[in-house]
Amino acid sequence: MAFPLTAHWAGRSIYDIDPAALARRGIRLLLADLDNTLVPYGVPEPTEQVREWTAALERHGVTLFVLSNNRHPERPGRFSKALGVPFIGHAGKPKTGSFYKAMEQMGRTAEETAIVGDQIFTDILGGRNAGVFTLLVEPIRLAGNPGRYLRYAVEWPFRALTKRRTKPL
Ligand SMILES: [Mg+2]
C-alpha cells in the first residue's frame, strides 16, 4: 500500500545508502535535501565524507542533485558548487515543481529518480507526490532549534511505520 507520509526506505544517514544498490534499482538521479541530510544546518561546505559518497554515486552512474528549501540566496549554491553537483535552492518542497524541474534538467524520468531527506512533510511527501523513490534518513543534528524537536515529534509515527516496513535496498 502506498501511503504518502511513509518513505520506501529508511536508514540512519546517507552513508547507509549503498550506491551500487541504488544503481541496481535503476536509479540514475538522486535528489538530496541539504540541511540535516547532507550536512548539519550552517555547515557551508561539503565534508570529505560527503565528497567521497558523491564520488561513489558518480562511479555507479548516479548523479547527486541538491534540492533544498533553504531560502538563503547563497547557501545551496555555495555548497553544491563546492561539491560539483547541480542544485535548486528555495525549492518549495513538498510542492512537486522543483522535482519535475530537476528531472527535466537532467533528462530523467520519475522511475529513474529518488529523493533522500530527513523530513517527512517536505522531502518524503514531495517525493511521493512526484512519483519518485523515497529514502528517509535521521536528521544529523536537532540541537539548537526547538521547532526541529517539535517537527520531529509530529513526524515520529510516520518514521516508525517506515522503519518497521523498510527492507534492504
Ligand atoms: Mg532537511
Q: Is the pLDDT score of 1 beyond 80?
A: no
139 alpha carbon – ligand 1 mean position (Å):
7
For 23-46, what is the mean pLDDT? Answer: 97
Distance (Å, whole) CA 34 – CA 130: 19
Query: Would you say residue 17 lies in a domain?
Result: yes
Query: Would you say residue 111 lies in a domain?
Result: yes
If one counts the domains in the chain, the total is 1
Please list all protein residues whose beta carbon sits less than 5 angstroms from ligand 1, which is an ion: 33, 35-37, 118
150 alpha carbon – ligand 1 mean position (Å):
14
Q: Is the pLDDT score of 127 beyond 90?
A: yes
**What predicted TM-score, i.e. pTM, was given to this entire model?**
0.96
Query: Would you say residue 2 lies in a domain?
Result: no
Query: Would you say residue 3 lies in a domain?
Result: no
34 alpha carbon – ligand 1 mean position (Å):
6
Query: Would you say residue 4 lies in a domain?
Result: no
How is residue 125 written as a grid cell? 511527501
Range of the domain at 104: 9-165
30 alpha carbon – ligand 1 mean position (Å):
15
For 116-140, what is the mean pLDDT? Answer: 97
Coil, strand, or helix at residue 74? coil
Distance (Å, whole) CA 70 – CA 89: 6
115 alpha carbon – ligand 1 mean position (Å):
12
pLDDT in tens, 78-94: 999 999 999 999 999 99
CATH of the domain at 89: 3.40.50.1000
Longest dimension (CA), the chain: 40
47 alpha carbon – ligand 1 mean position (Å):
16
